[in-house]
Amino acid sequence: MRHPTSIAVPASLVFALALAACKATPPEPTPDPSRTTTDKDQAGTQANGTKKPADDAQRTPPVRPSPPLPRKVSAKPVASVTPSPDDPVKGVWSLADATKGLPAGKQLVATIETSLGNLECKLFDDKAPITVANFVGLARGIRPWKTPEGTWDKKPAYDGTPFHRIIKGFMIQGGDAKKNGSGEAGYVIPDEVWEGATHDKPGLLCMANRGPNTNSAQFFITDAAAFHLDSSYTIFGECGPEEQVHKIASVEVAGERPTTPVLIKKVTVTRK
């Protein structure tokens, strides 16, 4: 017998709500739970500056445990993803498309001009060609993407956006045209986990995601080794100088959001 206060919900509505919740999940990597008290206090602060309710998962051991050791990362087959039905290019976007018109050279480089100084990122087009093609196409404004207004456009996707999420000792995250961590490009691309792709140092340029094969536009740069991310996030470049990454990662935050925005003024891609 059904409880008097229960309400029957159609299965179709349950599915729709679950799908909406999945799509609403912001793309992000999560910190290693073995961080120090200072690190955990930062991650446990809400956007309004108040503390989140404590629970066992947020309690800190009295001594930082030994850092995890690097482990062998094996290459994974690249999955197929379903193109967005309204994507003007139907998910077909190659490295040749993305680099058309660039000068000759051996190394593909992206310069990220920020309000706190510049980062120069070597792109791993030999290891993650799909991801690099996507990033370069969005940065140059030649790969169509869906704007926050819901229209497909070809304009630089990263210029004028902030590093909206910063956790010192972990990573800095940006690339969202909505500027709040919820935005995507209107489509997804697959993970590219290559042989030996380990998050073993600061400065690694990686794609943020909300689960396997859901990379889109958002990216992050590591501020330290983060081996717990291995095999789950695509590494597609390396940025420096390291001191510049640490400088951005050290800004004052409320929770995980900078109190003063750190802006990506412009991303320029070339070959050297």
Residue 202: inside a domain: yes
Residue 75: inside a domain: yes
pLDDT of residue 153: 98
Query: Can you give the residue range of the structural domain that contains 118?
Result: 38-49+71-271
Residue 195: inside a domain: yes
Question: What pTM, to 2 d.p., does this model score?
Answer: 0.80
* DSSP bridge pairs for 16: none
pLDDT of residue 81: 97
pLDDT of residue 119: 98
Residue 18: inside a domain: no
Residue 15: inside a domain: no
Give me the residues of the chain with pLDDT under 70, please.
1-24, 34-69
CATH code of 236's domain = 2.40.100.10
Residue 61: inside a domain: no
Number of structural domains (the chain) is 1
CB-CB contact of 250 with 133 (8 Å): no
Residue count of the chain: 272
pLDDT of residue 99: 98
Residue 10: inside a domain: no
pLDDT of residue 26: 77
CA–CA separation, 221 and 223 (whole Å): 7
pLDDT of residue 24: 54
Residue 43: inside a domain: yes
CB-CB contact of 203 with 91 (8 Å): no
CA–CA separation, 58 and 255 (whole Å): 14
CA distance from start to end of the chain: 72
How does pLDDT run across 111-134, given as a tens digit for each residue?
999 999 999 999 999 999 999 999
